[in-house]
Amino acid sequence: MKQNYEESHEHAVIRAEATLGQHYMTILLGTWLLLGIFVDGYAHRHDVLETFFTPWHAILYSGFIASACWMSGIVYRNRVRNGGSWMSCIPRGYGAGLCGVAIFLCGGLIDMVWHSIFGIEKDTAALLSPSHLLLLVGSLLLLSAPYQAAASEQGERNIGWRLFFPSFLSITLAAAAAGFFLMYTWMFHYNLPSAKSIEWLQREYGLWLITINNEHRGLSYILINTLLFMIPLFLLMKRWIMPMGTMTMFLVTINALNSSLDGFRHYPVILIAGAAGMAGDLLYRWLRPYERAWGYRVVAGAVPLMLWSLYFLWMHMTAGIGWEVELWTGAIVQAVLAAIAVSLLAISPSPRNSRYA
């Protein structure tokens, strides 16, 4: 038995580890890639695309090429320095990132052929194009590599911004990419509860059914946006004691990037998101949920409560709220309950602090 264990231990793969500097470079190039996605999305959204070969695609694919070369270069350098198998030279957490490189490359080649055959997509069709969905999967895997690497380590939970920032930006950019492909559910693009919007629909179409559809869409969008905001934060909370300002930076970054697609037409939502993030950061620091599990539930509910309450307050002050009071207040409560429910699944009490649950 002992001999078998020693033999299996001898043949175990010892994975390489990426350095902090390598994580920073990976996420820097990933930022280039993500900005290319949003620039290209802006072009699609404003009908300025004509062919596959555009300056917008150049930004996107040059960012990808830089990221792919960098990640492949890390593996090659480990192979030259340390020898061993190619698999052992892939840094921990970067295996999925390299899979993302391959998927993104396939998606890009298919995208070029797709555009040549079917032309350039517009609006929602561009988000649901099979080739573009492959680009989404590839970018998510590529962007999340530094987060996956750090999350898989059994290291210190309480770290400062210097060590935390690559992981934070990694999951933030991945969430932003997901938000980009869900822009058709982005509440702040449409502001469906606006009284002016509802009055226009009724005046133009005069159909009661359209008003009901407006409400159903709005309620769905609020829930989807809430989960998109909160799930990445739960992943960060589960692994680390988040430095002060994490929630503020996360919510501001996500909302600023998506607001850019409309030319920052609804820029106040960035301030609203920042205020909700600051409230969450202060509550997180005060309750110290990493010492008492019930604190996670309070934070989980408080952030969407602040976010959507401020949103409807802004709506009331600028355009008026066209929904019934039961509808918009219920939407806020529903978002709070959804966030708390997901936090129960994402962050369960650990044995060492289960007495606080």
Q: Which two tokens stand for residue 244?
A: 């002060």
Residue 71 CA: distances (Å) to CA of 27, 43, 78, 345: 11, 28, 11, 33
Q: Return the amino acid letter for 100.
A: G
- Give SS3 for 241: strand
Angle subtended by helix axes 195-205 and 208-239, to nearest 10: 150
Q: Which two tokens stand for residue 145?
A: 């590599």
Cα–Cα distance measured from residue 17 to residue 269, given in angstroms and rounded to the nearest whole number: 40
Cα–Cα distance measured from residue 258 to residue 229, given in angstroms and rounded to the nearest whole number: 13
What pLDDT score does 200 carry? 57
Helices (runs of H) and strands (runs of E) counted in the chain: 15, 0
Cα–Cα distance measured from residue 59 to residue 32, given in angstroms and rounded to the nearest whole number: 8
Residue 116's nearest CA partner among 51, 202, 191, 64 is: 51
Cα–Cα distance measured from residue 214 to residue 318, given in angstroms and rounded to the nearest whole number: 19
What pLDDT score does 197 carry? 66
Cα–Cα distance measured from residue 136 to residue 149, given in angstroms and rounded to the nearest whole number: 20
**pLDDT mean values, one per 10 residues, the chain (357 residues):** 40 69 93 89 68 73 92 89 82 90 91 77 78 91 92 81 93 94 88 72 54 81 95 93 96 94 88 96 94 91 97 91 91 96 83 41
What pLDDT score does 34 carry? 92
What pLDDT score does 14 carry? 63
* Half-sphere exposure (Cβ direction) of 138: Cα atoms closer than 13 Å: 25
Residue 321 phi, psi (nearest 5): -100, 120
Cα–Cα distance measured from residue 281 to residue 275, given in angstroms and rounded to the nearest whole number: 10
